[in-house]
Structure 1
Amino acid sequence: MPKRLQECSIVPASPHFMDMIISVGTCPHILQLLLSRGHDVVTTVRSEEKAKIIRDAHPGAKLTVVIVPDISLPGAFDEVMQIPGLEYVQHTASPFHFKFTDPKELLDPAIKGTTSVLEAIKKYAPTVKRVVITSSFAAILNASQLGDATKVWSEADWNPMTYEDGINGNPGQTYRASKTLAEKAAWDFVEKEKPNFDLVTINPPFVFGPVVHHLASLADINTSNGNMAALIGGRWKAEIPPTGVYLWVDVRDVAKAHVEAQDRPEAGGNRFFVTAGLFTNKEIVPIVRKSFPQLAERLPEDGTQGGDYPGGSKDNVYKYDNSKTTKMLGIEWTTLEKSVTDTIGSLLAVGAK
């Protein structure tokens, strides 16, 4: 069977910027799904240590692990793209962090990391039919409309941020610009270069869902799941924090979207807004109380302030349209209750306290 390349060298996100849209943690779920469907997979990681973890977790699988230490370097993907038989590429990596002193340290690697993958595919892998790229709701939203309750977000929307906005903004704005410009660079590449492959992008908001244990450490928990770790650690007890982005999705649905977008011919050339709908932090608390009564003393009591929709009603926040993704990719969205329960269970299993 032709090989699927999963490019998965992700740098963990900072847990301190709660207005961001982070989708880290999807890689192992995509890998599991690809292998379960019988695909022959080549996956990239940043170190031999991580390579061994993945090999040990999937004994006997049709799996090749290749080390790409720095995805932002010129020619980083040239060697791996010369592996014979590549048919599809899943580019899920995004080199982001918040230790930069110059915004270009975030913007340039995100943009160049994406275009270097596409350039290497065009040059060395003519058998590739499709590239699926993980983008973000950050590339859809317009910050000036986040307070507009009549706005309906879909994959037809584009974040209007420019490179200059990313240079001059705060770290969260720089991140959003990096995701927007990286995705635009991918679409521009396909339009101008007209390669043999077509393109699909996956745009999720906050991503919840269980941590895959063989790759998990509490230091690597993404922003969304970091919120839940804070909840069960008692840090929401006095006040529930603001929800920030009111849209969410389960990581397993994001993984399925990637694989379905790869395997369904009609998905080519599309963006997909991957979201299960609206939520608030306040709605998470009773789910955890019901499913994990042993955590009751750490949880906010009924009536604790914070974490709700403006004015206490979802009518006061923006709306969403995920119908294209639901229909074209055949996603049956995981419920918030199941996602929260499975997430908390997995965090407890890896030592969250």
Structure 2
Amino acid sequence: MAQHRASDAGAPTMRDVAARAGVSAMTVSRVLKDDARVSGTTRERVLAAVEALGYRRNETARSLRLGGSGMIGLVVTNLANPFYSRLALGVQEVASEHGLRVLLSNTAEQADRERGLVEDLASRQVDGVIVVPAGSSHRHLAPAALRGMPIVLASRPPAGMDADCVLVDDFGGAEQATGQLITDGHRRIGFLGNPPALYTGAERFRGYWAAHEAAGIEPDENHVRRGLTDMATAESAARSLLQAPDAPTALFCTNNRLTQGAIRAVRALGTSVALAGFDDFDLADVLGLPLTIVSYDADEIGRRAGQMLIDRINHSSAEPIPARRTVVPTHVIRYGTH
């Protein structure tokens, strides 16, 4: 018997698979949906035909028939930060489990750019979007402003709107790490932080301050540097602090990029300063420096945000789901000799 060939020179169709397996197109569809009504022998014939022909479903057409795009958006603020690659992997894991693709965009902490990117995703009719928001007002992210598109915020809570969000215990992690430095005997602890307008930076500064208050210590505001954005600004700020009279004996940094900038300053100056910071990073354990790191599962932030978005997309009841908030816990890791 002659082997069945694809119906044209293009990609094989479901009808081609059906003809090769000797079944109907409906049976092929049921096999691909893992329908229990199909017998084992028929299933094996269909799957063998799928493999032989190299058949792949037309997901775009399938999504249109089902009333969705089959895609979700993910908008982050800084792809140079490893935190966001881990978050994206968590989102991707959940999206893949539900047959969805992820469109990734970067705002560089620019609220206007974020607005344009999210509006573009809405115009493309993606099924929903996860955003790490920039700026201090998020009204432009409200579902009403985005044609009802489901939205979840990650890492930073909503401001000026209600929305699901996944946060890290920023305050608790900073308080615990700073408290550990105080327990180690440090009384002059410098602070290297993001811009105060950022929720994460503000909460981590609040935790740093609270740890001092709990120990009955008044922080020296001359040892505080806020508004830092990258390794270069952190290195410059750390150099300034560590070369000043009555320099701090330890530094707390609000993210891994700032911690790495501080490490460069400590290495260059040859000082024996203890460092603490938010976000674990590769090779932190082999640097030979006393490091106190606030660690958490960045993938889990993405997974939780992804699942929240899936819940919103699949919600068909007329009864609305109230906005939900979940917090990923932190724990302290210590590297080097303290």
TM-score for both structures, normalised by structure 2 = 0.39
Give the greater-gyration-radius structure (CA): 2
Greater relative CO (CA pairs within 8 A, separation 6+): 1
TM-score for both structures, normalised by structure 1 = 0.38
